[in-house]
Structure 1
Amino acid sequence: MMRHTLPIAPQFYVTAPQPCPYLEGRMERKLFTALQGDQAQRLNDSLSKQGFRRSQNVLYRPSCAECSACLSARIRVADFKPSRTQRRIMKNAAHLRRNATSPWATEDQFGLFRRYLDARHADGGMADMDVFEFAAMIEETPIKSRVIEYTRAAGPGERGRPLACVALTDVFDDGLSMVYSFYDPDMIDLSLGTFAILDHIDIAQEAGLPYVYLGYWVPGSRKMGYKAGFNALEIFKHGAWQDIGDPADHRAELHPLSVDPIAEQVARISLPEARSVPRE
């Protein structure tokens, strides 16, 4: 019996430039790699700590030619203290019931998803998603993922407990990552997007996980500005996690030297150590 080390050597690619969804008039480009095979969970855990984000079977990180505004963000669970407004949001939504399920798409989820997009993001990149693409977003995951559903009491003429909010959530070795969330647009007064983040902080605390990953914070983008409203927030900048400090100190100006060449970026990516696998 001999033992050989099988290396993890993912291939990295770069997307063609396309309009940026966060900052008007700019073009975005992403560095990405496939997420598949027996080592998918370990690769996802490792690269997520280096600013990458999952979308189905792909891990990606912004790598724009002259812009480095997109910053991966996460909340330190142990240090988080809700603000007065956030405590009020938790209180107002306390009647919702949480249910964690396997990543399986349902008609109720898709119906809520369509209502959410039509009301909040009718001109966004996901506006044309059909039920099959929605199912792929939820179900095509090679790692440990959960769908967290929040339901409300039934109103007149309704059956069961209707969905109020849904979050697709990945489970890392050091935290929870909120991949995507959507909610009932008729319940906008409850601030359900913020509520879902606050509840995920509670879930992470209960599970002994130190972080809740929020995706990207983009200074100068109103769409992403809400993330800076959570204290104990860290951002991944210049290759390391650091406290966000004063959000106003982070800029979104263009500069030709703000992003390193792709080859240098890839060379600095730390990959998980290969495991020894027995071979005859």
Structure 2
Amino acid sequence: MTEHFPSKLGLSQQFSCSYLPEQQEQLLVILDPNCYTPERFEQLLALGFRRSGDQIYRPHCPSCSACQSIRVLAKQFTPSRSQKRKRNKLKHGYHVIVSHDERPEYYPLYEKYITQRHSDGSMYPPNKLQYESFLFCRWMSIVFIELWHRDKLIAVAVTDDMPHSLSAIYTFFDPDYESLSLGSIMILAQIEHATKHDKHYVYLGYQIDSCQKMRYKTQFTPAERLVKDTWKKVDL
């Protein structure tokens, strides 16, 4: 496969968008089994695709093009003053661990996070089957970037690991520690992991400018977003 769309694609039914309720969402889904490898998925990431569970998809909405892939240029990244302040709050009693295996502590933390933070969303109520089918993958190497407060797990960033990039799939954390800006902290941890392992990019998923919940993604620079199939520098 080259840097072009695969020939075998499916198109989902339309359904209500979870980010822009007034819009209808539709997805392109990869059907070619040869695309389901870390190396080929990395090529598809550069074309705006993402992974959910075992499935590779890209928005293909009938009347909306608000979703734009965004990626941080990991090797050039320098934290802002605000990001340094957030990180400095974690100097005492906090530490990051990178695991390649799921821990039993993950699901209770995920369940607490969804229940307390996203009870109005499509992932509520959480259950173990939903958690596994959404986050995990049979053909992809996953790293779990964990944040611990002493002996307590307080955040997990589920991250796809490819030859030249990382892709942030989902982060969940203990709402009791919300004041520490753990969403941003875990992105910083992913960028640090990418830099340590000589990765070029950290893909943060889709950016929707009109969605308040997503605006934090543009605070990690230098970065690029995919606009009409061309990667362009993010302007703050």
TM-score in same-fold range (> 0.5): yes
Q: Corresponding residue for 1:261?
A: none
What SS is found at the alignment partner of 2:231? strand
Displacement of 1:125 in angstroms is: 1.4
Question: Aligned pair in 2 of structure 1 residues 81, 11: CA closer, same or farther (>3 Å)?
Answer: same
| 8 Å Cα contact 2:99-2:144 kept in structure 1 | yes
Task: Name the residue aligned to 1:86.
Answer: 83
State how far apart, in whole Å, the 2-side matches of 1:231 and 1:242 are: 12
CA 1:225 to 1:39, structure 2 compared with 1: closer, same or farther past 3 Å?
closer
Q: Which moved more, 1:137-146 or 1:186-195?
A: 137-146
Distance 1:239 1:201 in 2: 24
| Counterpart selection for 1:72 from 69, 73, 81 | 69
1:134-173 equivalences under 5 Å are: 134-153=131-150, 161-173=151-163
Distance in 2, Cα, partners of 1:217 & 1:244: 11
Who is 1:129 aligned against? Answer: 126
- Say whether 1:18 aligns with 2:15: yes
Task: Please tell me whether the aligned partners of residues 166 and 181 of structure 1 are also in contact (alpha carbons under 8 angstroms).
Answer: yes
Larger RCO (alpha carbons 8 Å, 6+ apart):
1
Question: Aligned residue pairs: how many?
Answer: 231
Alignment correspondent of 1:195? 185
Deviates more, 1:173-182 or 1:27-36: 27-36
Q: Is the 8 A contact 1:105 1:138 kept in 2?
A: no
- Kindly state the Cα deviation for residue 103 of structure 1 after the two structures are TM-superposed: 4.2
Counterparts of 1:93-132 in structure 2, within 5 Å, are: 93-94=90-91, 95-104=93-102, 106=104, 108-132=105-129
Cα deviation for residue 17 of structure 1 reads 1.1
Name the aligned partner's letter for residue 101 of structure 1. S
Show structure 2 runs of 5+ residues with no match: none
CA contact (8 A) 1:169 1:176 kept: yes
CA shift, 1:150, in A, is 1.4
Q: How much has 1:26 moved relative to structure 2? A: 1.0
Instruction: Give the counterpart letter for 1:187 in structure 2.
Output: Y
1:176-210 C-alpha deviation (Å, 9 max, x unpaired):
11101101100011001100001111111111111
In structure 1, distance between residues paired with 2:53 and 2:133: 7
Q: Deviations over 1:84-128 (max 9, x none)?
A: 11001111123422222224352x211111111112111111113
RMSD, aligned α-carbons:
1.9
Residue 37 (structure 2) pairs with residue 40 (structure 1) = yes
Q: Deviations over 1:206-251 (max 9, x none)?
A: 11111111000101001111111222121011112110224xxxxx
- State the alpha-carbon separation in 1 of the partners of residues 231 and 138 from structure 2: 26
Which TM-score applies when normalising by structure 1?
0.77
Give aligned-pair identity as a percent. 30
Structure 1 unpaired stretches of 5+: 1-7, 154-160, 247-280
Higher Rg of the two aligned structures: 1
Alpha-carbon contact 1:102-1:147 (below 8 Å) kept: yes
Q: Report SS of the residue matched to 1:163.
A: strand
Residues of 2 paired with 1:139 and 1:218: CA distance? 25
TM-score for the superposition, normalised by structure 2 = 0.91
Q: How does 1:205-224 map to 2 (within 5 A)?
A: 205-224=195-214
